[in-house]
Every structure is written in C-alpha cells, then in structure tokens.
Structure 1
Amino acid sequence: MTRSSRSRRLTAGLAAAGLALTALGATTANAVPAADRATVAAPGPLMNYVVNSKASPGHVRKVEKAVEAAGGTVLQAYSQLGVVVAQSTNPDFKSAVRAGKYGREVQSVGATRTAAVSEGPAASGLKSLGEAEAAPVPDPREVDQWDMVQIKADLAHAVTDGSRRVLVGINDSGVDDAHPDLAPNFSAADSVSCVDNGVPDRSEGAWRPTTSSHGTHVAGTVAAARNGVGIVGVAPGVRIASVKVVNDDGFIYPEYAICGFVWAAERHMDITNHSYFIDPYMFWCKDNGDQGAVQEAVRRAVDYATGRGVLSVAAAGNANYDLANKTTDTSSPNDTTPVTRTIDNDCLDMPTELPGVVTVASTTRTGVRSGFSNFGLDKIDVAAPGSSILSTLPGGGYGNMSGTSMASPHVAGVAALMKSTHPWWGPRQLESALRTQADDTACPTAPVDTRCTGTTDNNAFYGEGLADSLDAVHR
C-alpha cells in the first residue's frame, strides 16, 4: 500500500473521529467522493470491526472502499481470507458499511469487542497483509505495450497484478530464468525438460532455451514482473515455470507434450500455455493406426491435467485455416516428406482442438483478425493480440514476435488474474468465464469476409470475443 493510500484511509477515519486533519498534512481532496459516501452519524465510541467478503483481491478492494465510505479506517486487509479489519467512531457503522455503493460486497460485519478501543485511534503504519494493490508503477517499456491496453490489462492492474499462489506453466521451448523481467516470478522447483524421449529431466537448467527464443517471449507476455525494468506481463504478480517440450530442432513430439501435461498436473499448476501444435502432423486423424492412438493418448493426458485442476490454453495455429471445415493437409508429416492428403473434422490440430483446451485466435493492433490466424465457427473460444507483440527474449533482451503463439499467452495471463481473484474456481469455471467475459467482436463488414460465419456473440474469427482482463478481476 502506498503512503498516499494510507493517508486517504487515515484521513477518513480521523475525520469520523473529529480529529484534526492537518496533523498529517491532509486536505479535503483526500476525502471520499460525495457520491460514494454512506450516511455517517455523529461520532460515537471508537470501535474495531471485521468485515467479511469473498476471498479475492478485487472483492476485498471494494470492501475497503465501503469501509471508507461508512466513515471507517482500514487497519488490515487479508484478501486471501476475504477479511478486512476496520476502525470507526460511526455508531451506525455496521449498517452504513452495507448501505453504500459497495455494500453488496459485504457478507457480514461485526465488532471485535464490546468496549471502546483502549489503544486509541490507529495513527500510522497501516498496511495490507493480503494482495490488494497499490496504484501500479509503469515499467519503462510498458508504454509500447498496446496489446495490454487492448485487453484492458492496464486497468486490471489497478485492482491486482495477480497472486503468488497462482502458478502458470510455460509449455514451450524453454524459459530464460535469468532474464531480469522473469527471474522474480520464476519457479525452478516446478520446472522440467521433457525433450529426452518424454522422460522428465529435472536437472539444473534443463528447462532453459538452447536454440529458440519462443518460450521466453511467451513467458514475458504472461508474467513479466512489475519491477522497474522492461515490460509488464498480463499477470505480473503470478509465478511461472518452464516445461520444455520443444527440442533443438523445433519439434514437439507427442511424448514431449504428454510429459508436459502430466508434469503440470503433478505439480499442481493452475494454468498452462501451449503455443504449438504437436508434430509431425498438423492434423492428427482418428484412424485405427498411429494417428488415432496418439490422438487418444494426448486426449487422456489433457483430461488428466484438467481433472487435477489445470486449465490448458493453446494457440489456434498460423495457417489461415478453417478448423471447422477441414479438407486437405499438405504439410504433414513435417519430420520426413510431407504428402497431400484428404482430411475431415475428425482430424484434430492438437492440443488446441482437444476438449477442455481454450483455443485462442490472434488480433492485430486495430483489433481485427490477424491474417495468419486459424479460425472456425465453434472452434475458436476467444481472441487476443498476436501481431507484433513486444516481450522478453533470452539474454535479457526484448523484441517483437507475431503469431497465435503470442495471442495464447495473453489469455493464459487473463486466466491467471481470474484464478487470483477467484481461487476456488477450477478449470471449467475459468474456461466458461473466459468466454462469457470476453468482449463481443463482430465479423468484419468493410469488406465483408464470408469466412466469418456466426454472430457477434460467437463467430468463426473471434469466438466469444476479445479476452477481457478487467472483467477477470472484478467478477
């Protein structure tokens, strides 16, 4: 909590107690706006109260405002418990705290003692032991992050940067854990490499990148720290772990991906990001041979992770392909000699088309679909920025990359904020909320693109719409 935040809260409490405001150099500018004030009675005995709400930073923040509006001072805020300890001389405080603008956030309120507070009014050192945030301080290159503005992450950060309880797995080509924007949030204990035949390698640094900057870039979008350096991620307060599933030749074979899903489940990760498709087939067909067996094995791995509380978020793919109307595949297998083959909708782009996986399409700076992004009615869940995204690179650098690979981590970050403010939610609740809270985005009309079938509420290009960080922390 900042010094100015403490002063505002203390000012409200001292004013209710009839004490001089000039003692702290306070002015009437610090007072609660008239529109937000509840009716405050003439001063009575100084009392302390507990005010209970839902256990999330967003809900607790609103209760703190309700306390101030009722003529109280916040002494402690425990967002992990949903408890605010308050002090007031308003004899009607219990009813007033329920009556104001944010009164609906209050579940219960009670005095902590029957006698007046013997310690006298709290004067200084007020603090929060939970996760209600101070006003965020921009990092140097945050002004270049148009993508954060598009999904309202900048507004969400005024509520919370996310919780340290939340762990996001970056299932990718490895993460540079020494990068100054990633090191503060990196969990080496939860990191692993799966690229040795799908056998988990927990040796020191096995999770780091060797030939690719992809995973480090993805990691920065999810959770680059708010630390006065470089950029800020969608959820700069959560933890990340590297789950390396891309080998030095750039392949993600099924055994690597399966290892990654199971590892995330066993390490109790909350969200994982998958900015890849499983090689060597762009589409794995449900046949009686190799492809059918692999499709089933990967499906089981995803189901296992989901059952253990992991939400999987994945890139839709960069082939400008209609996933709802599959006809041919000319790029598979990509580890030997590709052949043109006829496919149908039983052939799946994995993991993004598997049940329980959130499929993310890409948008440009102007909010339209990126030309490379795959699409498909009832295939795309939500959309997010993916064209020319600034993020972290190995060796402490920064750079721009494009792809649905860049869109997906934005949604993983939104899900991490959502999990931070709704810690009791499981994968299916998070998935549902991501869709229902997304901002409806209509099909293009100038010119009309006939491939964008569906409605404004749900269409082939944007799914349920553009991911919304602000709604994620308020609901």
Structure 2
Amino acid sequence: MTHPSRTRRRLLGLATTVALASAVALGSTAGTTAEASPASDPPSTPVDTAPADGTLMSYVVNLKEGQVNDSQLKRAERVVTKAGGVVVQSWPQIGVIVAHSTKAAFVDNLPKGTNSPIKSAGQTRTTAVAEGTPGTDSEDKSPSRSRKASVERTDTTGHEQATKVKADPREGEQWGNKAIKANRAHKISGGSSDVVVGVVDSGVDGLHPDLVSNFRSDKSVSCQNAGVPERKNWGPTTSSHGTHVAGTIGAARNGEGIVGIAPNTAIAAVKVVNDGGFIYPEYAVCGMMWSAMQGIDVTNNSYYVDPWAFWCSDQANQAPGMEAVRRAMSYATYKGVAHVAASGNSTYDLANKTTDTTSPNDSKAVSRQLNKDCLDLPTEVPGTVSVSSVSDDKAGITKSGFSNYGKGKITVAAPGANILSTLPNGQYGSSSGTSMASPHVAGVLALLKATHPKASPERLIGLLKSQATEMPCDGDTCAGPDNNNGYYGHGLVDALKAVK
C-alpha cells in the first residue's frame, strides 16, 4: 500500500495545507451504494472507490435503529454473511457491524427496503485490509469481541489536594501550563486518580517515569487489529505522539521531568493508530466503545479519521463511516464520556469549506469540492470540544499560524506551539500542533471532573466554556454568537477556575 503518512503528519502536529483548487468530478461510486443525506448545494464531488473483486476490504454496516437485541443482531449478521461478508466485530449498543469481504458487490448484495435490518453500509478504506481478518488469516483469537458491554461505568469520587507544590525540574519550560494557570491550580488540586483520561492515539509508554504512577493498564486497549479490541499491544510502536499527549495531560508531579495539567489524573492508552499511521473508522469506533464500557471520563482525540480529511454525508461511500463514528461518540457521551479533539493544522476555515486535495490519503488523493455537510472527524462531531491552538510570541498569546479555525466551529483554545512533554523510553521533547493544544483542554476537563465528580459531560463542557478567558479578535472571522469567535471559541481555557 502506498503510504503518504498524511495521518502521521497530523498526529505529530505538522501543518498540512488543504489547497484551494478546482474540483474534479470522478463519476459514480459503484460498489459502495448506501443511504446518504440529501445533496447539499453545491453537492460535494463523488469519488469512485469501488474495489476490484478479490480485494479484502473493510466495511461498516449500520443497522436501522440504535441498540439491537440478540435476535436482531444475529439476523443482521446472517444478512452480512449471505452477502459475502465476514463479521469482524459487532457493536449492538449502537447498531454497527464491522465486516470484511473480498466481494466487490458486497454492499450491493445487502438487502434494502423496509424489511431489511440494514440502514447503510460503506467502505472504511480505499485500500486492502493490511492486517487481514481477525480469527481467519491472523493469529488473533481475542475473546473481547463480546456482544454486550461487560463493564459499566461507576461514579468517580475523591479530590486529591496538592497544597504543597514543588516544581519539577523542567516545569519552567512549560509555557502552556503557566498560560492557562495550571501552575496556580496545582496549589489547590492536582485532580483525582478516580478520574480517567483515555488517550485515543498511537499508544502510550506507561513505563515512562513521569507516567508510570498514573498509568492504568487495566483500562488500556489496542483497536488497530481491524477494530477488534485487544487487551494488549497498546504501547507505542511507530509513533511517539500518544506518549507526548499523555504527558501534557497527566505527567505526575514527582520531582522528575515535567508536570501535566492534571498530575493526579489516571491515564489509559486507547490505541487507534496502526503502524502505517492510519486511523480508520472501525478503529475510532472501537476506541469510543471501549471508553464507554470502561468508565473513562474524558477522551483526547488528536487526530482525524482516515482516509478522508473531510467526510461528506451526501456521498454514499462516506456517509456510513461518518454515521458509525457519530453513533459511537454519542453512545460514549451517554455513558458519561466527554470528548476533546484537535481542530487540525491546515489553517483551514472549517465554517467555509471549499476544496480538499489530500483525500483519500491511503491510496491516490484527488481534488474534490466540499460543502457544509463535509465534516472533519472527530472534531466536528456534535458535542465534541473542538480545540484551536495558540502560540506565545512577541505579539502575545495569539492563534497559531497552522491552526484551523471557523465561526461556530471552535469551542475553546489552548497552547499548542513548542510544547514540552514526555516521549517513549524516558525521553522528553517539544512538538507543535492542535494535537498539543487538545490535551491541555483534556487536562482541564479532568480537573473539572475531580471538582464536580457527578457532573455529566454536557455540564463539564458548559463549565469549561463559561470559565474560559475571552480572547480579543478583530474581523468577520472572529465575530460569532454567544461569545464564540472563529479563532478562539469561548476563549483560552482556565485550569485555576476548574479547581475552585
């Protein structure tokens, strides 16, 4: 498979520009028919991703309504098998099945109409499944492909105090902590170990000296094997990104290295990035469902879902994957999980989308026209805290040049340039990107959860927005309703207010 490393560049926080160009129509989407939203004005450009017969492809199959019972699920699984598919993972809580098939006509073979249990189905990638099908041509025999959630969340309690604060050796290099008043917040509280933040990313080095005391291996998972949760392999392999994110959130105040925004908070690795650097919908769905089942309180999502920089709901081969991710995130929110996501590093106005020349990024990218119904996942999923990045330079704290923006699209802002944090094997390093801004916000949400242990995700996000420091911004891009401007949203997050 060709590997343009688009996703890894996003993970590492490097700016990747979405160029403005004329869209090129590529014809039909044969072999990927499914229910899609009514066409927008103008419609987005269709991209033909139909596979060749015999190519092992991955699909999401969305059932008609919400949670399904065992008999409904078994019926739907039989339909998938009859159409030429193999059921890889079923999520009855949200009515989503992950399936593999070598049949080019798999989606077309699925029954349609009022008597069919299927609402929509579509490819999750535009290239063959590199990892194979679990349980058939791979070694995986994971028992965790359960039909129902076996672990339900419990209320968090406790609020660990941190009134005596001694600086860690490199804390003075963490300008972001100071900018959002985390250093002052720690004199009141460092959060609670009862609060768990899921680092939905490329894996976490749980043995790092600054992370080992807060790491929860019992709540960690890998989803990179076709979207099947595995209680192993959650450590970093080809990317240090997740470990860097984890340190910003919860590096312990232990006299070593750095300190996180919420240094008493528990950290879980939810690995959704494969060794090629890609995060496909089935991986993201697995990560969200795992977080919901394991009682994780906050997820940090510093990535976008591949292979589309923007998923368009009026395209039949993109809408099903978009819907599956939305269902999983909505279910996790229902189970008590608050989601934070990086807004992206392309200096792109998310409120006024034009074209995309970078997708699909796992095969051959094309130039395509976008519309308002094309969304960057997960940052534009409703209910998600979308974070822009700020930098500290001669002009003061202002939006980072690489950060995406958009009226009504950004929730809050946080430091994301030259952020020092943990790296695998006991190392430290600096990186820039909205990937680095997002974990600052996840850390503040963890502090809020410790202060308000029974608060719902909606309540926590409401507090986050109301406590943010409004940032001055001139021009049409900055104007927005409810103190929400296009660069900073409701403002720069405030860790000190979160612990009061």
User: Does TM-score exceed 0.5, indicating one fold?
Assistant: yes
Looking at structure 2, the residues matched to 450 and 464 of structure 1 have their Cα atoms a distance apart, in angstroms, of 16
Looking at structure 1, the residues matched to 195 and 177 of structure 2 have their Cα atoms a distance apart, in angstroms, of 20
Q: Is there any run of 5+ residues in structure 1 with no aligned partner, and where?
A: 1-78, 82-129
**Does the residue aligned with 1:442 lie in a helix, a strand or coil?**
coil
Looking at structure 2, the residues matched to 178 and 238 of structure 1 have their Cα atoms a distance apart, in angstroms, of 16
Show the 5 A alignment for 1:56-455.
Answer: 131-203=160-232, 206-365=233-392, 366-443=396-473, 451-454=477-480
Looking at structure 1, the residues matched to 479 and 160 of structure 2 have their Cα atoms a distance apart, in angstroms, of 42
Show the 5 A alignment for 1:13-28.
Answer: none
Looking at structure 2, the residues matched to 394 and 300 of structure 1 have their Cα atoms a distance apart, in angstroms, of 33
Looking at structure 2, the residues matched to 133 and 215 of structure 1 have their Cα atoms a distance apart, in angstroms, of 26
Contact 1:441 1:456 in 2 (8 A): no
Higher helix share: 1
Contact 1:194 1:201 in 2 (8 A): yes
Deviation at 1:384, TM superposition (A): 0.0
Q: Deviations over 1:133-156 (max 9, x none)?
A: 232111000011110010010111
Looking at structure 2, the residues matched to 408 and 195 of structure 1 have their Cα atoms a distance apart, in angstroms, of 22
Looking at structure 1, the residues matched to 328 and 481 of structure 2 have their Cα atoms a distance apart, in angstroms, of 33
Looking at structure 2, the residues matched to 377 and 307 of structure 1 have their Cα atoms a distance apart, in angstroms, of 27
Contact 2:177 2:183 in 1 (8 A): yes
**Does the residue aligned with 1:314 lie in a helix, a strand or coil?**
strand
Deviation at 1:345, TM superposition (A): 1.1
Contact 2:477 2:485 in 1 (8 A): no
Contact 1:443 1:456 in 2 (8 A): no
Deviation at 1:454, TM superposition (A): 3.0
Q: Deviations over 1:165-192 (max 9, x none)?
A: 1000000000011100010100000000
Q: Which moved more, 1:223-232 or 1:289-298?
A: 289-298
Matching residue's letter, 1:293: P
Looking at structure 2, the residues matched to 389 and 145 of structure 1 have their Cα atoms a distance apart, in angstroms, of 7
Contact 2:353 2:371 in 1 (8 A): yes
Matching residue's letter, 1:172: D
Deviation at 1:289, TM superposition (A): 1.1
Deviation at 1:451, TM superposition (A): 3.5
Looking at structure 2, the residues matched to 456 and 300 of structure 1 have their Cα atoms a distance apart, in angstroms, of 27
**Does the residue aligned with 1:161 lie in a helix, a strand or coil?**
strand
Q: Which structure is higher in RCO with an 8 Å CA cutoff and minimum separation 6?
A: 2
Contact 2:309 2:359 in 1 (8 A): yes
Looking at structure 2, the residues matched to 183 and 227 of structure 1 have their Cα atoms a distance apart, in angstroms, of 11
**Does the residue aligned with 2:190 lie in a helix, a strand or coil?**
coil
Q: Is there any run of 5+ residues in structure 2 with no aligned partner, and where?
A: 1-155
Identity of aligned residues (%): 57
Looking at structure 2, the residues matched to 147 and 292 of structure 1 have their Cα atoms a distance apart, in angstroms, of 37
Matching residue's letter, 2:436: M
Looking at structure 1, the residues matched to 488 and 161 of structure 2 have their Cα atoms a distance apart, in angstroms, of 32
Matching residue's letter, 1:344: N
Looking at structure 1, the residues matched to 482 and 227 of structure 2 have their Cα atoms a distance apart, in angstroms, of 42
Deviation at 1:256, TM superposition (A): 0.5
Deviation at 1:327, TM superposition (A): 1.1
Deviation at 1:470, TM superposition (A): 0.7
Q: 1:242 to 1:80 in 2, by over 3 A?
A: closer
Matching residue's letter, 1:162: G
| Structure with bigger gyration radius | 1
Matching residue's letter, 1:201: E
Deviation at 1:249, TM superposition (A): 1.0
TM-score (norm 1): 0.71
Looking at structure 2, the residues matched to 174 and 355 of structure 1 have their Cα atoms a distance apart, in angstroms, of 26
Q: Deviations over 1:95-146 (max 9, x none)?
A: xxxxxxxxxxxxxxxxxxxxxxxxxxxxxxxxxxx63323211100001111
**Does the residue aligned with 1:467 lie in a helix, a strand or coil?**
coil
Q: Deviations over 1:408-434 (max 9, x none)?
A: 000000000000011010100011111
Q: 1:456 to 1:263 in 2, by over 3 A?
A: closer
Contact 1:440 1:456 in 2 (8 A): no
Q: Does 1:458 align with 2:488?
A: no
Looking at structure 2, the residues matched to 458 and 355 of structure 1 have their Cα atoms a distance apart, in angstroms, of 16
Matching residue's letter, 1:465: G
Deviation at 1:455, TM superposition (A): 7.1
Deviation at 1:450, TM superposition (A): 5.0
Looking at structure 1, the residues matched to 362 and 378 of structure 2 have their Cα atoms a distance apart, in angstroms, of 18
Looking at structure 2, the residues matched to 80 and 450 of structure 1 have their Cα atoms a distance apart, in angstroms, of 44
Looking at structure 2, the residues matched to 274 and 288 of structure 1 have their Cα atoms a distance apart, in angstroms, of 25
